[in-house]
Amino acid sequence: MPLKEVQRTIREAVSFSGVGLHTGNPSTITFYPAPEDYGYRFVRADLPGSPEIPAVVDHVVDTQRWTVLGIDEVRVHTVEHVLAALVGLQIDNCRIELTANEPPIGDGSALPFVEVLQKAGIEEQTRARDFLIVDQTVHYSNEAKGVDLVALPLDDFRVTVMIEYHNPALGSQHTGLFDLEKEFVDSFAPARTFAFLTEIEQLREQGLIKGGNLENAIVIVDKELTREELQQLAERLGLQESVFLGDNGTLNDKPLRFKNEPARHKLLDLLGDLALVGAPIKAQILAARPGHAHNVEFARKLRQLYLKQKLVRKYQAKKAKNAELDISGILKIMPHRYPFLLVDRIVQFDQEEQRVIGYKNVTFNEPFFQGHFPDKPIMPGVLIIEAMAQASGLLILHSDGFQEGKLVVFTGIDKAKFRKPVVPGDQLFLDVRLIGKRFNTFVLDAKAIVDQHVVAQAELRAAVVNPEDL
Helix 111-120 and helix 80-88, axial crossing angle in degrees, nearest 10 = 50
Query: Residue 138 pLDDT > 80, yes or no?
Result: yes
pTM for this predicted structure: 0.69
Query: From start to end of 301-367, where are the E strands?
Result: 345-350, 355-361
- Is 372 a known active-site residue? yes
Q: How far apart are CA 226 and CA 230, in angstroms?
A: 6
The mean pLDDT of 5-27, rounded to a whole number, is 95
pLDDT the model gives residue 428: 95
Range of weakest confidence among 280-289, 394-403, 449-458: 394-403
pLDDT bracket for residue 22 (50, 70, 90): confident
The mean pLDDT of 103-116, rounded to a whole number, is 96
pLDDT the model gives residue 6: 97
Across 211-220, 253-262, 273-282, the highest mean pLDDT is recorded for: 273-282
The mean pLDDT of 273-282, rounded to a whole number, is 98
- Measured CA angle at 180 (ends 179, 182), to 5 deg: 65
Rounded to 5 degrees, φ, ψ at 303 are -65, -40
pLDDT the model gives residue 321: 41
pLDDT bracket for residue 110 (50, 70, 90): very high
- For residue 306, the one-letter residue type is Y
Of the candidates 191, 171, 186, 167, which has an alpha carbon nearest to the alpha carbon of residue 267? 191
Q: How far apart are CA 98 and CA 107, in angstroms?
A: 18
Query: Residue 85 pLDDT > 60, yes or no?
Result: yes
Q: Which residues contact 296 (CB under 8 A, 6 or more apart)?
A: 57, 60, 63, 67, 273, 276
Rounded to 5 degrees, φ, ψ at 214 are -80, 0
pLDDT the model gives residue 240: 63
Cis peptide before 104 (omega within 30 of 0): no
Percent of the chain with pLDDT over 90: 66
b/e string for 180-199 if b means 16 or more Cβ within 10 A? Answer: beeebbebbbbbbbbbbbeb
Q: How far apart are CA 466 and CA 470, in angstroms?
A: 7
The mean pLDDT of 412-435, rounded to a whole number, is 94
Query: Residue 405 pLDDT > 90, yes or no?
Result: no
Residue 458, CB-side half-sphere exposure with 13 Å CA sphere: 24
Give whole-number Cα distances, 342 to 6, 69, 161, 338, 356, in Å. Answer: 38, 45, 47, 9, 15
Query: Which is catalytic among the residues 22, 81, 265, 292?
Result: 292
Instruction: Read off the pLDDT of residues 356-394 as tens digits, 9 standing for 90 and up.
Output: 999 999 999 999 999 999 899 999 999 999 999 999 998
pLDDT the model gives residue 323: 52
Query: Residue 119 pLDDT > 50, yes or no?
Result: yes
Q: How far apart are CA 46 and CA 27, in angstroms?
A: 10
pLDDT the model gives residue 171: 82
* Helical (H) or strand (E) element with 152: strand 147-152
Query: Residue 401 pLDDT > 70, yes or no?
Result: no
Instruction: Read off the pLDDT of residues 233-271 as tens digits, 9 standing for 90 and up.
Output: 666 666 666 777 766 677 777 889 999 999 999 999 999
- For residue 331, the one-letter residue type is L
Residue 207: Cβ within 10 Å count: 10
pLDDT the model gives residue 10: 98
Counting beta carbons within 10 angstroms of the beta carbon of residue 44, is it exposed (0 to 12), middle (13 to 18) or buried (19 or more)?
buried
Q: Which residues contact 185 (CB under 8 A, 6 or more apart)?
A: 88, 89, 114, 118
Structural domains in the chain, CATH included, are 6-191+261-310 (3.30.230.20), 194-253 (no CATH), 320-469 (3.10.129.10)
pLDDT the model gives residue 314: 59
Instruction: Read off the pLDDT of residues 300-346 as tens digits, 9 standing for 90 and up.
Output: 999 989 987 876 665 454 444 445 788 888 888 888 999 999 999 99
Q: What is the mean pLDDT of the chain?
A: 89
Note whether 187 and 193 are within 8 A (CB): no
Counting beta carbons within 10 angstroms of the beta carbon of residue 333, is it exposed (0 to 12), middle (13 to 18) or buried (19 or more)?
middle
Task: Check residues 249 and 43 and name the one with the higher pLDDT.
Answer: 43
Query: Which is catalytic among the residues 336, 372, 398, 453?
Result: 372
pLDDT the model gives residue 331: 86
Query: From start to end of 252-344, where are the E strands?
Result: 281-288
